[in-house]
Chain A
């Protein structure tokens, strides 16, 4: 398997623009997780899905952030409008079952100027 795939790998955008990050989990994995990593806050769980249904979005920082999973092989994380403080590396991860090890994608490095 190709592992978790994320796109784009790098995104540079101006404040106020909409940003969409994409993730393809490992086939057969029922759980998908979105994380954000910064120097200040470390690794933060934003939201996770089970069988395409959002289970816990308590980590989503504010209403500017939204995530969807329209099918088992695709998820998006959208920021609208983006702000400089959203600059971070965003990771997607998937796992086969509850609490099992997660497999991470390579991340999307977002820079908002």
Chain B
């Protein structure tokens, strides 16, 4: 069945460092891909999405490119801030996929130190 695999955390970075959080997926059909962010004590918020191969989603300085050939959707940011400290979830779903549900990864905790 469909699945999402994220890199294990926690990821600890200094402020202004470059961030990459890896995400790979297994899916039937042509799903959409999402990144969600969860700040401490809050619900999940949609960070960005891509609906087809080679699409790039971007928001708040974060980017991720839908790579069908490598079945990946890695999250990147050029310069992280302390305020980016949160848990990041990769997810797949979408009308081109085989499911009505979003399939979430296990989440990656990012801690940014000043």
Contacts and interface: CB of A to CB of B under 8 A. Distances in A.
B93 to A, nearest CB: 4
B43 A99 contact: no
Contact of B43 (A31, A42, A45, A91): A91
Given A99-B93, A99-B95, A104 B100 contact: no
Contact of A31 (B46, B94, B100, B107): B100
Interface in A38-56: 42-43, 45, 48, 50, 55-56
B104 A43 contact: yes
A103 B46 contact: yes
A92 to B, nearest CB: 9
B99 interface: yes
Nearest to B32: A99
Contact of B46 (A50, A97, A101, A107): A101
B95 A98 contact: yes
Interface string A73-113: 00000000000000000010100011111111111000000
Interface residues of B, number: 23
Contact of B107 (A42, A101, A105, A106): A42
A43 B46 contact: no
Contacts of B17: none
Contact of A50 (B36, B100, B102): B100
B82 interface: no
Given A42-B106, A99-B94, A104 B101 contact: no
A24 to B, nearest CB: 14
Interface in B29-57: 31-32, 34, 36, 42-46, 49
Contact of B102 (A42, A102, A106): A102
Contacts of A91: 43-44
Contact of B100 (A99, A103, A105, A107): A99
A32 to B, nearest CB: 12
Interface of A: 4, 31, 33, 42-43, 45, 48, 50, 55-56, 91, 93, 97-107
